């Protein structure tokens, strides 16, 4: 079986079902039953759990007369459980950019990324009051994998805590990536003064940003 942390946490039969669906375009419960050597009812019980967790989906397909067949396949979330080499690819891309265009070229790539993210952030922050903007920013960052939360120190001062670095492998190779994250916050919250107080890359438990509303 494929050895990834997310799959290893599941019962072995569910791992095997996901691997079958990964290797085939679509399967019925009966087909999986035959491949796994367990009853169709047993397969269906596992499929119910996997569907509940958003890892598999099904569609009804009419094959001749009689009841339609239910064809199961992986969802995008289920597919992402399998090994990926995104960090290695990104790091290779950064190194190639650095070799071809120098550090200035790498900065241009991150600046372009910031510009794209800025439009997304601003569309969600616009027309909110200051406190709601902080809350929405934390929500956006959590959606991006940063496990963010926020707290208020006083009327005009807030903390944004990011308990996970979603770009950790990139930041290890290019620390300036973190500086562009800070610049992004400063751009989408022009009414605030923002500084980073704690930094995961410096060995801190989380990245903590102090956000103070300008007077």
Average pLDDT over residues 14-24: 92
pLDDT of residue 25: 83
State what percent of residues in the chain have pLDDT above 70: 95
Task: Output the average pLDDT for the chain.
Answer: 91
Confidence of residue 51 (pLDDT cuts 50, 70, 90): very high
For 113-164, the pLDDT digits (tens) are 999 999 999 999 999 999 999 999 999 999 999 999 999 999 999 999 999 9
In the CATH scheme, what architecture does the domain 5-79 have?
Orthogonal Bundle (1.10)
Burial of 198 (0-12, 13-18, 19+ CB in 10 A): middle
Domain layout of the chain by residue ranges: 5-79, 86-213
* CATH code for residues 86-213: 3.30.1380.20
Average pLDDT over residues 182-211: 96
Alpha-carbon distance of 35 to 188, in angstroms, equals 53
CA-based nearest residue to 198, from 167, 174, 165: 165
Is residue 185 over pLDDT 80? Answer: yes
Alpha-carbon distance of 112 to 186, in angstroms, equals 16
Alpha-carbon distance of 156 to 160, in angstroms, equals 13
Q: Report which secondary-structure segment, H or E, holds 69.
A: strand 69-74
pLDDT of residue 158: 98
Q: Which two tokens stand for residue 89?
A: 């690819």
């Amino acid at each position: 079986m494929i050895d990834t942390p997310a799959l290893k946490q599941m019962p072995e039969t569910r791992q095997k079902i996901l691997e079958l669906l990964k290797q085939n375009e679509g399967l019925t419960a009966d087909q999986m039953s035959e491949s796994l050597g367990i009853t169709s009812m047993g397969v269906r019980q596992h499929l119910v759990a996997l569907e509940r967790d958003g890892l598999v989906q099904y569609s009804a397909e009419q094959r001749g007369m009689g009841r339609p067949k239910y064809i199961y396949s992986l969802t995008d979330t289920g597919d992402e459980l399998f090994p990926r080499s995104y960090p290695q690819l990104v790091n290779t891309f950064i190194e190639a950019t650095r070799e071809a265009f120098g550090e200035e070229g790498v900065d241009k790539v991150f600046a372009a990324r910031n510009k794209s993210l800025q439009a997304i952030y601003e569309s969600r922050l616009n027309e909110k009051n200051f406190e709601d903007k902080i809350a929405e920013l934390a929500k956006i960052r959590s959606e991006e994998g940063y496990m963010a939360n926020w707290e208020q120190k006083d009327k005009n001062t807030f903390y944004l805590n990011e308990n996970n670095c979603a770009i950790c492998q990139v930041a290890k190779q290019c620390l300036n990536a973190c500086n562009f994250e800070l610049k992004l916050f400063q751009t989408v919250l022009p009414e605030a003064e923002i500084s980073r107080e704690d930094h995961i890359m410096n060995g801190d438990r989380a990245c903590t940003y102090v956000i103070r509303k300008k007077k």
